Amino acid sequence: MLDRSELALAVGHADVAMQMGFSGAAAHFHFADSEWWKDVRFLKEVSEPLTLKERCLVVVEGDVRAHVTVSGNGAVIVYGSVQASIETKGMCEIIIAGNLHPDGWISEQGSLHLFIGGDSLGEIRSNGSLHAWIEGHLRGRVWTGHPVARLKVRRDCSADIRPSSSPALLYLEVDGSMPFPLLEATASAKYTQFNASIAKSDPPAGIYPKKETFDSLRQQHSFNRWVIRTSG
């Protein structure tokens, strides 16, 4: 889990690296800017179901233990962990300093920009556009939507990654390790484009898949390029 100062710096970096991927949260950390928001709330924790209207910013000092619904252009900043569910509609930002617990899940209808400061152990369910930055490990399950999913994992990845409906675009970057069979299993979903850069995996460093696999996937209208930076 990241502390308050660590979270602000990590989100600020992710915002720049993802080309203003977390602009609402970064503005809050930078100037505590509240002019754009229609509703700003500060809560100790979420222990009862909470529904947020459009352009609402909520800062939670502790954990999320009950269901939260976030409407368009809303943002939730959680200094604890998420042990329940968060449902987003429209374009939303969810910032979590701690973990997404195994029983927790985050679902999206529209466009979700998600930052997790700890490990993602539950489910991320996307039907639209997903931009996710995971400071810890990516475990559990990720359902990707349309038109694109971009996943940045700062540590290891062992998640089951699958399209929620028909496969679209998937871009994955892992700074830790990811088993090569898991890459192949992800590719078996036949994403229109699946590009991955993995710091460490089983085979020797190189660009994959091999030509036979590449051609087989291409014949099924799935284009793949996976870079393994070091063998491990």
**DSSP letter string, 54-107:** TTEEEEESS-B-S-EEE-TT-EEEESS-B-SEEEEEEEEEEEESS-B-TT-EEE
Question: What's the domain range around 99?
Answer: 4-231
Please give the C-alpha separations between residue 26 and each of 44, 93, 115, 184, 222, in angstroms, as whole numbers: 21, 10, 11, 36, 36
Number of domains in the chain: 1
pLDDT band at 199; cut points 50, 70, 90: very high
State residue 73's pLDDT score.
86
pTM of the model: 0.96
pLDDT band at 232; cut points 50, 70, 90: confident
Q: Alpha helices of the chain — where are they, by DSSP H?
A: 4-17, 23-31, 180-187, 211-219
pLDDT digits (tens, 9 = 90+) for 29-81: 998 767 778 899 999 999 999 999 899 999 999 999 999 999 888 999 999 99
Query: How far is Cα 189 from Cα 223, in angstroms, rounded to an integer?
Result: 12
